[in-house]
Structure 1
Amino acid sequence: MSKLNFLKRLLALSAVVMLAACANQQGAHRSYVAFKKNKPHSILILPPINETTDVLASDSMLSQMTLPVAEGGYYVVPVAVMEETFKQNGLTTPNDIQDVSPQKLRDIFGADAALYTKVTRYGSVYEVVDSTSVVDASAKLIDLRSGDTLWHGHARATGKEIGTNVDINAGLLFMLVQAAVKQVAHTITDESHDVAGLTSSRLLHAGPPDGWMYGPRSPKYGTD
């Protein structure tokens, strides 16, 4: 192959790589176009829909979602105010509450955006030679003025990330017994609630690479 042909192919390959990089960058920025356009200041966190068999899942997640959103620089409608308002209007289940139209939520609470969440896993999981608590959730942020989806995400955490694991050097029988004991302990101590806190933090954090844009109350506002 001549040097000229080699250079032509090298240039062509470089052009392809540059175009792919630009496309990736545009894709990354495109997901935040609506966020930048709408610039929400206040957030209404709706009770998470519980798709698990544990009745505590929704309340556990809801109780720990305000902190990461507030730390991201946003005003959050107090959970107690939100729950009492819906209760006075005959709405007590997350499914019914999340079915309320964005415009209606805007009229009632005056918030700029609402957070819609689903909990898909919550509780102790037995894994043959180990046992841990798992909390899995997804969420989307909807602008109540335009109806635009500003952000959506998913997060998962386990008890192994906040506690101790089974000793892998122990005998199989001991590991099986220890796993069963841990599963009971997780239920008694409600370890899942602590795991839900970690899941909430991961799901709703502000900043790169996949978090919310910083809110107007954050010192990092506008640096995204």
Structure 2
Amino acid sequence: MMHRILKLAACLAPAVFFAGCATQKAPYDYTAFKAAKPRSILVLPPLNNSPEVKAGNSVYAQVTYPLAEAGYYVLPVAVVGETFKQNGLTSAADIHAVDIKKLDEIFGADAALYVTISNYGATYTVINSVVVVSVNAKLVDIKTGNVLWTGAASASNNEGGNSGGGGLVGALVAAAVKQIINNVSDTSHPVAGVANARLLTAGQANGILYGPRSEHYLKQ
């Protein structure tokens, strides 16, 4: 059994090495974004493509802060959610399918942010248990339907790696204990906050631009 595990690790090592050699992304084209000059943002309930049912509420609850810090007025998510509910829309998929002109008519914001969750929760591997949250988003001009910006980000609770001792047996025990902790507590929620911050913090390479309420607005 030990021989098979070590053989598998040896086979996976080259794949891990090459996966880490990511190519540098080209600078994002902000022409449409700068022309639109959005001041207010309507954030739609996230589309949850993960198996975790609470992922949508967790990400949605933490999306306002980085956008507000970036200099935008963000429509309160509780009010937005209740408005959709009063109009018979409770599914994120149905809400994302609403015509952009209808969103303009109801909310009157300058732009709408569509967020999708691809990963949320713990995954168990041979020697570790890791909580991963991955999100992507697109910002759309509500008046024209033009896409102003797109981005993606991920975060995990194991980004520092596993530095514990005890060899392979110790790593297996640590992974089992970590998996139990991840399952009985909401360890994904703070990780989702980090992923949101990485996705929506302004001023980073290819990130969202600063809004008009930011002191950096005229300097970008």
What is the TM-score when the length of structure 2 is the normalising length? 0.85
Q: CA offsets, 1:34-80, max 9 Å, x none?
A: 00000000000001111011001111100011000000000000011
- C-alpha distance in 2, partners of 1:75/1:175? 46
User: For residue 200 of structure 2, what is the amino acid of its counterpart?
Assistant: L
1:149 aligns with 2:147: yes
Determine if contact 2:131/2:156 at 8 Å carries over to the other structure.
yes
Equivalence map 1:1-224=2 (5 Å): 28=27, 31-161=29-159, 166-224=162-220
Q: Match for residue 17 of structure 1?
A: none
- C-alpha distance in 2, partners of 1:166/1:190? 21
User: For residue 147 of structure 1, what is the amino acid of its counterpart?
Assistant: G
Shift of 1:128: 1.2
Q: Which runs of 5+ in 2 are unaligned?
A: 1-25
Q: Match for residue 15 of structure 1?
A: none
Secondary structure, aligned partner of 1:36: helix
Q: CA offsets, 1:179-203, max 9 Å, x none?
A: 0110110122211101000000000
Determine if contact 2:27/2:206 at 8 Å carries over to the other structure.
no
Secondary structure, aligned partner of 1:222: helix
Secondary structure, aligned partner of 2:217: coil
Shift of 1:210: 1.4
Largest Rg, 1 or 2: 1
Say how many residue pairs are matched: 195
- C-alpha distance in 1, partners of 2:79/2:94? 17
Q: Which runs of 5+ in 1 are unaligned?
A: 1-26
> Would you identify which runs of 4 or more consecutive aligned residues in structure 1 move more than 6 Å?
none
- C-alpha distance in 1, partners of 2:216/2:174? 46
User: For residue 216 of structure 2, what is the amino acid of its counterpart?
Assistant: K
Determine if contact 1:114/1:142 at 8 Å carries over to the other structure.
yes
User: For residue 109 of structure 1, what is the amino acid of its counterpart?
Assistant: F
Shift of 1:154: 0.5
Secondary structure, aligned partner of 2:140: strand
- C-alpha distance in 1, partners of 2:56/2:199? 15
Determine if contact 2:27/2:205 at 8 Å carries over to the other structure.
no
Shift of 1:165: 5.1
- C-alpha distance in 1, partners of 2:27/2:50? 32
Determine if contact 1:137/1:156 at 8 Å carries over to the other structure.
yes
Secondary structure, aligned partner of 1:104: helix
- C-alpha distance in 1, partners of 2:213/2:35? 17
Secondary structure, aligned partner of 2:27: helix
What is the TM-score when the length of structure 1 is the normalising length? 0.84
Give identity over the alignment, percent.
Answer: 50
- C-alpha distance in 1, partners of 2:189/2:44? 18
